[in-house]
Structure 1
Amino acid sequence: MASDPRIELDAIDIALLQALQRDGQATAQELGATLNLSASQAGRRRQRLEERGVIAGYRARLDAERLGLDVQAFVQVQLARHGAEEGAGFTRLLRTQAEVVSAWTMTGEADYLLRVYCPDLPALNRLIHEVLLAHPVVARVHSQIVMDQPKADAPLPVG
């Protein structure tokens, strides 16, 4: 029987995770003040959550528009065949494409859902036609261009 990967969190752990999702660069001093703990207590709690894998890492959130990535799209990909080798080959292709920032395997008609950022529509067109559709296992691609994002990527609901 597989062990449960979930970690028991108390109210302070939850508050700490919420604070870190707002500001991943918060110092132990700042976290301690927010949580009404000493800096060393806050630092130890953060370290424990890092060691247990609850906190998987820290990243800077970049502004795509300021970087010239003006087209965001979601691309659904349907494979012609569904063997392990075909899936692994397609996954390897995805890892080589910087424009594909995330990918999910899905239930339903599409096998994969990709989130992509491109500088312009011709670049998106090249990605779809010269990369994705050119892969021998891809049967169909359906793209949806993002017009606006009324809710930004939000923190996980840990509380």
Structure 2
Amino acid sequence: MKSKLRRSTQQFACEMARLANKFWQFIAQKVALKMDRIDLKILEALQQDGRLSNADLAQRVSLSPSPCLRRVKQLEESGVIKRYVALLDAAKLGLGLQAYVTVTLEKRRDSQIQAFHAAVSSWPEVLGCYALTGDMDYLLQVVADDLEHFSRFLMDRLLKQEGVANVKSSFVLQAIKNTTALSLQERLL
């Protein structure tokens, strides 16, 4: 009995310590998110060129390298900078067809939703999946080699997914604007 009580007390103490740690991480994150003009300039520069050296970045934002690096590390640790990536030209890689596909599920049961999320996450053709308000449940951003590849994706994967009731596709004819950069200009003023 005493060993069970000791174990449950230890488990409780561990859980409380874990929750306290999460709480302090949350507080630290909120404090860390207070950014000034220099932080925003750093973010603006890194959005344009994520491969900037720290020395070049520091020069662009009028800081010395050490404080600049410290600020970048803080932005990374707080989650403002999620990751660094290379942006690829899909057409030059043979992925010449881009489509936006709206999806409606039949009954929207939790099991169907979870299965749909898992399936979409595993399909390499899907670049983005967004839950929507309104008539449709999801918007998928899809890339494919060509119309035949897209048709196979649609017929063999999406339409065979349990719970999918309705699908509508729109093909991209021309990209007028395509950016990953968030607008920080008004925050800099």
TM-score (norm. length: structure 1): 0.94
| Aligned residue in 1 for 2:154 | 128
Aligned Cα root-mean-square deviation (Å): 1.6
1:61 matches 2:87: yes
Query: Aligned partners of 2:134 and 2:150: how far apart in 1?
Result: 24
1:96 matches 2:122: yes
1:27 matches 2:50: no
| Aligned residue in 1 for 2:133 | 107
Map 1:65-76 to 2 at 5 A: 65-76=91-102
Deviation for aligned residue 1:36: 0.7
Query: Aligned partners of 1:135 and 1:117: how far apart in 2?
Result: 18
Query: Aligned partners of 1:24 and 1:83: how far apart in 2?
Result: 41
Kindly provide the amino acid, as one letter, of the partner of residue 163 in structure 2. V
Answer yes or no: is the 8 Å Cα contact 2:116–2:162 preserved in 1.
no
Deviation for aligned residue 1:154: 4.0
Larger radius of gyration, structure 1 or 2?
2
Kindly provide the amino acid, as one letter, of the partner of residue 55 in structure 2. Q
1:39 matches 2:65: yes
Paired residue secondary structure (2:123): coil
| Aligned residue in 1 for 2:76 | 50
| Aligned residue in 2 for 1:86 | 112
Which runs of 4 or more aligned residues in structure 1 lie more than 3 Å from their structure 2 counterparts after TM superposition? 2-6
* Structure 1 residues 95-124: Cα deviation after superposition (integer angstroms, max 9, x where no partner): 111000110000111101000110000111
Aligned residue pairs: how many? 158
Deviation for aligned residue 1:157: 1.6
Q: Which runs of 5+ in 1 are unaligned?
A: none
Query: 1:139 is matched with which residue: 161, 165, 169?
Result: 165
Deviation for aligned residue 1:126: 1.1
Deviation for aligned residue 1:136: 1.8
Paired residue secondary structure (1:55): coil
Q: Which runs of 5+ in 2 are unaligned?
A: 1-22
Identity, % of aligned pairs? 35
Paired residue secondary structure (1:122): helix
Query: Aligned partners of 1:111 and 1:73: how far apart in 2?
Result: 17
Deviation for aligned residue 1:129: 1.4
Q: More helix by proportion, 1 or 2?
A: 2
TM-score (norm. length: structure 2): 0.80
